[in-house]
Amino acid sequence: LSFSRIFCLQCWFLTSPIRSSPAQESALKPFSDLPGNWKASWFNLYQFWKDDGFHNLHNIMVDKFKTFGPIYREKLGSYESVNIIDPRDAAILFKSEGLYPERFTVPPWIAYRNFRNKPCGVLLKKGDSWRQDRLALNKEAMSLKVTDNFIPLLNEVGEDFVKRMEMKVGSSPQDKWTTDLTHELFRFALESVCNVLYGSRLGLLQDFIDPEAQKFIDAITLMFNSTAPMLYIPPEFLRRINSKFWQDHVNAWDVIFMHADKCIQNIYQDLCLNQKRAKEYRGILCSLLIQNKMPIEDIKASITEMMAGGVDTTSITLQWALYELARTPHLQDQLRSEISAAKASSQGDVAKMMKSTPLLKATIKETLRLHPVAVTLQRYTTQEIVLQNYRIPANILVQVGLYAMFRDSRFFSKPLQFNPERWIKTEDSKYFRGLSFGFGPRQCLGRRIAEMEMQLFLIHMLEKFKIEIKRGVEVGTTFGLILIPDKPIYLTLRHHQSQQ
Torsion sign, CA atoms 6, 123, 363, 91? negative
Residues in the chain: 500
Confidence check: pLDDT of 3 > 60: no
What's the rounded Cα separation, in Å, for the pair 17 and 383?
8
Confidence check: pLDDT of 476 > 80: yes
Q: Are 186 and 310 spatial neighbours (Cβ–Cβ below 8 Å)?
A: no
Q: Are 479 and 224 spatial neighbours (Cβ–Cβ below 8 Å)?
A: no
Annotated binding site for heme: 444
One-letter amino acid for residue 315 of the chain: S
Task: Report, as an integer, the average pLDDT of 126-154.
Answer: 92
Instruction: Supply the DSSP string of 181-223, one letter for each residue.
Output: -HHHHHHHHHHHHHHHHHSS---TTSSS--HHHHHHHHHHHHH
What's the rounded Cα separation, in Å, for the pair 96 and 270?
45
Confidence check: pLDDT of 217 > 90: no
Q: Which residues pair with 479 in a beta bridge?
A: 483
**pLDDT number for residue 420:** 96
What's the rounded Cα separation, in Å, for the pair 215 and 190?
13
Could you read off the pLDDT of 53-69 as tens digits, one per residue?
Answer: 888 999 999 999 999 99
Task: Report the range of poorest mean pLDDT among 111-115, 211-215, 296-300, 330-334.
Answer: 211-215
**pLDDT number for residue 396:** 95
What's the rounded Cα separation, in Å, for the pair 188 and 165?
11
The residue ranking higher by pLDDT, 269 or 379, is: 379
Average pLDDT, the chain: 88
What's the rounded Cα separation, in Å, for the pair 352 and 394?
46
What's the rounded Cα separation, in Å, for the pair 128 and 44?
36
Q: Are 346 and 352 spatial neighbours (Cβ–Cβ below 8 Å)?
A: yes
Confidence check: pLDDT of 2 > 50: no
Could you read off the pLDDT of 267-318 as tens digits, one per residue?
Answer: 878 777 776 555 678 889 988 888 888 888 899 899 988 988 888 889 999 9
What's the rounded Cα separation, in Å, for the pair 468 and 493?
7
Q: Are 459 and 339 spatial neighbours (Cβ–Cβ below 8 Å)?
A: yes
Under the banding of pLDDT at 50, 70 and 90, the label for residue 356 is very high
Task: Report, as an integer, the average pLDDT of 466-479.
Answer: 93
What percentage of the chain exceeds 90 in pLDDT?
A: 64
What's the rounded Cα separation, in Å, for the pair 237 and 249?
14
Instruction: Supply the DSSP string of 241-274, one letter for each residue.
Output: TT-HHHHHHHHHHHHHHHHHHHHHHHHHHHHHH-
Pairing of the two strands 176-180 and 490-495:
antiparallel
**pLDDT number for residue 20:** 52
Give, as one character, the DSSP assignment of residue 30: P
Three-class HEC string of 37-49: CCCCHHHHHHHHH
**pLDDT number for residue 232:** 80
**pLDDT number for residue 141:** 93
Q: Are 364 and 437 spatial neighbours (Cβ–Cβ below 8 Å)?
A: no
The residue ranking higher by pLDDT, 34 or 208, is: 34
Q: How many CA atoms lie within 13 A of 372 on its CB side?
A: 22
At residue 173, the 3 state secondary structure works out as helix
**pLDDT number for residue 282:** 84
Give the H or E element holding residue 80: strand 79-84
**What values do phi and psi take at 401, rounded to 5?**
-75, 85
| Of 461, 458, 466, residue with least CA distance to 497 | 466
Task: Report the range of poorest mean pLDDT among 119-123, 194-198, 344-348, 427-431.
Answer: 427-431
**pLDDT number for residue 22:** 56
Annotated binding site: 444
What's the rounded Cα separation, in Å, for the pair 289 and 339?
37
- Residues ≥6 apart with Cβ < 8 Å to 94: 14, 379, 432, 439, 440
Q: Are 189 and 318 spatial neighbours (Cβ–Cβ below 8 Å)?
A: yes
**pLDDT number for residue 431:** 87
Q: Which residues pair with 180 in a beta bridge?
A: 490
Q: In what order do the strands lie in the sheet with 490-495?
A: 176-180, 490-495, 465-468
Number of separate helices (H) and strands (E) present in the chain: 21, 11
Confidence check: pLDDT of 113 > 80: yes
